[in-house]
Amino acid sequence: MAASKNNAGSASSSSKFEVFLSFRGKDTRTNFTDHLYHALLDAGIHTFRDNEELLMGKKLVPELIDAIEQSRISIPIFSENYASSKWCLNELTKIFECKNTTGQVVLPIFYIIEPSAVRNQTGSYSEAFERHQTCYDYTTVQKWKEALREVGSLKG
């Protein structure tokens, strides 16, 4: 993931983001997330979001990891299909790690989904994990579930 070319700058190690947005593009990119992103920029808040040019791979790219680590606040936007994306779950795992190691502030948003569905992995989240368990190792899936449980328990 790379930061948008406009006011967000780039995700280089010299950048410092105030906010990192984690979201499932097909659910919220062109509506809620876009409005939130522009409102943050208009308020002068240096915000990271991907620019739809994500190169698919198994691991989070270094720029994405740097953006998460350098952000003071992370905002995961949980939506119906968030848990179906390994990218979203990997981002959330890194966000959860930063929350616990550096005290990063995490402000979850529950977009047309109940917090309990995220926290308890029910509904579409349960279905996503049924698929993930056939494709990914036990440890990875458990890390994703733990991150969802913990971050899903935060007041949104």
Range of the domain at 51: 19-152
- The pTM for the full model equals 0.85
Identify the three-state secondary structure at position 149. Answer: helix
pLDDT band at 68 (very low <50, low <70, confident <90, very high): very high
Instruction: Tell me the C-alpha to C-alpha distance, in Å, between residue 46 and each of 21, 38, 40.
Output: 11, 10, 8
Q: What is the pLDDT of residue 16?
A: 81
Q: Assess if residue 8 is contained within a domain.
A: no
- For residue 11, is it within any domain? no
Take residue 148 and report the two structure tokens written for it: 């969802």
Q: Is residue 142 predicted with pLDDT exceeding 90?
A: yes
Among residues 96, 139, 103, 137, the alpha carbon closest in space to that of 118 is found at 96
The pair of structure tokens assigned to 16 is 């410092």
* Within a domain: 24: yes
Report the CATH number at residue 31.
3.40.50.10140
Residue 2 located in a structural domain: no
Question: Is residue 38 domain-resident?
Answer: yes
Q: What is the mean pLDDT of residues 138-152?
A: 96
The answer as to whether 126 is a domain residue is: yes
Reported as a single tens digit per residue, the pLDDT across 84-138 is 999 999 999 999 999 999 999 999 999 999 999 999 999 999 999 999 999 999 9
Backbone phi and psi for residue 105, each to the nearest 5 degrees, phi listed first: -80, 130
Helix (H, G, I), strand (E, B) or coil at 94: helix
Number of domains in the chain: 1
13, part of any domain: no
Residue 62: pLDDT above 90? no
Over the stretch 3-54, which tens digit does the pLDDT of each residue have?
333 444 444 444 589 999 999 999 999 999 999 999 999 999 999 998 644 4
How much is the pLDDT for 61?
Answer: 78
Active site (annotated) includes residue 91: yes
- Given this model, what pLDDT does residue 5 score? 36
Name the DSSP letter for residue 50: B
**Options 91, 114, 127, 146, the catalytic residue:** 91
User: Token match 């979001």: residue?
Assistant: 49
